[in-house]
Structure 1
Amino acid sequence: MRKIIYWVHTSIDGFVDGPNGEFDWPVMGPELSAYSENLDKHVDTLLFGRPVWEMMVGFWPNAESITDDPHTAAFAPFWRATPKIVFSRGYHGDEWTSRVISGDLARQVAELKAEPGQDLLLTGGSALAGALADLGLIDEFHIAVHPVVLGGGRPLFPNPASRRGLRHVDTVVVDGQVVVSHYQPLARSAA
C-alpha cells in the first residue's frame, strides 16, 4: 500500500501563507533543500489542492529561466517529469496535470493508495491536507516551521473534524533556523 506523505512549510504561528496569500517567506537553504529532495526520492506521484497547483504551475514549468537557485535547479526537472494529480471540484486540468480527482475523496484516494508504485507526496496547502487527515489518509507529516510570524493566513489544519493524535518520529533543525518535524498518525481507537 502506498503512503501519502504531507510536506508543508508553516510559520511559527501556524499559517501556511500570509494574510494576503503571500508565500515569500520560506527560505530554502541547502539543508532544507536536501530534506525536501530526500522526500522526493521515495515518491512517484505529486498531489496538489487547486490553490497550491495554481502557484506551482505558474512557476515550475519554466523555473530555471526565473531563478538560478540550486534548489530550483534540482527540483524543477523532477517536478516536470513526475505525474501530478490535482484535487478540485471545478478544475479540469491542463497540460501539466496528469489527473484530476473531484468526486468521492475517501474512495478515490483509497484506490490511489492501493495502486502499485512508490509513495505519494502532498505538497503544501491546508484544505486538502485537512480533509485527507480527517479521513485518516495521510501516513506521514513533515512540517517545516520557519522563524516568522505571519499574523494571519490559512491555518495549517483548518477546522479539523476531531482531535488528531500524532506520534513524533524525528525533529531536525536545518540551515540553523528551520525546525522540521516528522510525525505519523496514531491509530484511531475503536469506540
Structure 2
Amino acid sequence: MRRIVHLVHTSVDGFIEGPAGEFDWPVMGPELSAYVDEVDRGIGTFLYGRVVWQMMASFWPNAEEISDSPHVRKFAPRWRAMPKVVVSRTLPQPGDTAVRVLRGDALAEVAALKAEPGKDILLTGGTELASHLAAAGLLDEWVVAVHPLVLGGGRRLFTQQKERTPLRLVESRTVDGQVVVSRFAAS
C-alpha cells in the first residue's frame, strides 16, 4: 500500500496562508529545496484539493517564464511530468491528461488511490483535504516546514481535527539557517 505524505509550509503561528490569502512568504533556499527533492524521490503521484490545485496549475506549467529561482527551474519539469490527482466535486476536467479528478466520496476514493500499486503520494499544502484525510487516518506522514514569521491570521494548518492524533517525530532539522522542517509519522 502506498503512503500519503503531506508536505506543508506554515508560519510560526500555524497559518498556511496570510489573512488575504497570500502565499508569498515561504522562502525556498537551497537546503529546503534539497530537502523537498529528497522527499520527492519516493513520490509517484501528486495529490491536491481544488484550491491548491488551482494555484499550482496557474504557476507550474510555465514556471520557468515566471521565476528564475533554481528550485523552480529544477522542480517545474518534474511537476509537469508527474501524475496528478485532484479531489473536487466542482473542478472542470483539466486539459492535462496527467490529471485525474476524483469527484465522489473523497475519503473512499483516496483510500482506493492509496491501495493502487506504485510509489507514495504527496499531498502538498492546503488545509481542507489534508484535515479530512488526517481525521480519517489516511495521512501516513507529515512534513511541516515552519518559516520564521507570524502571519497573524489566515487559513490554519488543520481545520477539521476533532480529536487528538498522536504522531511520532521522525526527524527535525533547521535548513537555510531559518526554516525548521519536522517530519512526523502516524503512530
Smaller-chain TM-score bracket: over 0.9
2:139 aligns with 138
| SS in structure 1 of the partner of residue 156 of structure 2 | coil
Q: One-letter code of the match for 1:89?
A: R
Matches of 1:121 and 1:69, distance apart in 2: 22
Residue 48 (structure 1) shift: 0.6
Match of 1:53 in 2: 53
Q: Residue in 2 aligned with 1:84?
A: 84
Deviates more, 1:21-30 or 1:104-113: 104-113
Question: 2:76 is aligned with what amino acid?
Answer: A
- Distance in 1 between residues matched to 2:17 and 2:176, nearest whole Å: 21
SS in 1 for 2:145: strand
Cα deviations by residue, 1:45-87 (Å, 9 ceiling, x for unpaired): 0001111111111110000011111000110000000011111
Residue 112, structure 1, aligned to residue 110, structure 2: no
Distance in 2, Cα, partners of 1:12 & 1:93: 36
In structure 2, give the amino acid aligned to 1:146.
Answer: H
Computed over aligned residues only, the root mean square deviation of the Cα atoms, in angstroms, reads: 0.9
- After the TM superposition, which of the residue ranges 89-98 and 146-155 deviates more from structure 2? 89-98
Q: For 1:130, what is the secondary structure of its paired residue?
A: helix
One-letter identity of the residue aligned with 2:39: L
Matches within 5 A, 1:1-191: 1-96=1-96, 98-186=99-187
- Once the two structures are overlaid, the 10-residue window that deviates more, 88-97 or 160-169, is 88-97
Shift of 1:159: 3.1
Conservation of the 8 A alpha-carbon contact between 2:135 and 2:160: no
Give the aligned length: 186
Residue identity (%): 58
Read off the aligned partner of 1:32 and give its amino acid letter: L
CA contact (8 A) 2:9 2:146 kept: yes
Query: Which residue identity is paired with 2:12?
Result: I
- CA displacement at 1:168 relative to structure 2: 0.7
Q: Whole-Å Cα distance in 2 between the matches of residues 77 and 183 of structure 1?
A: 28
What secondary structure is seen at the aligned counterpart in 1 of 2:157? coil
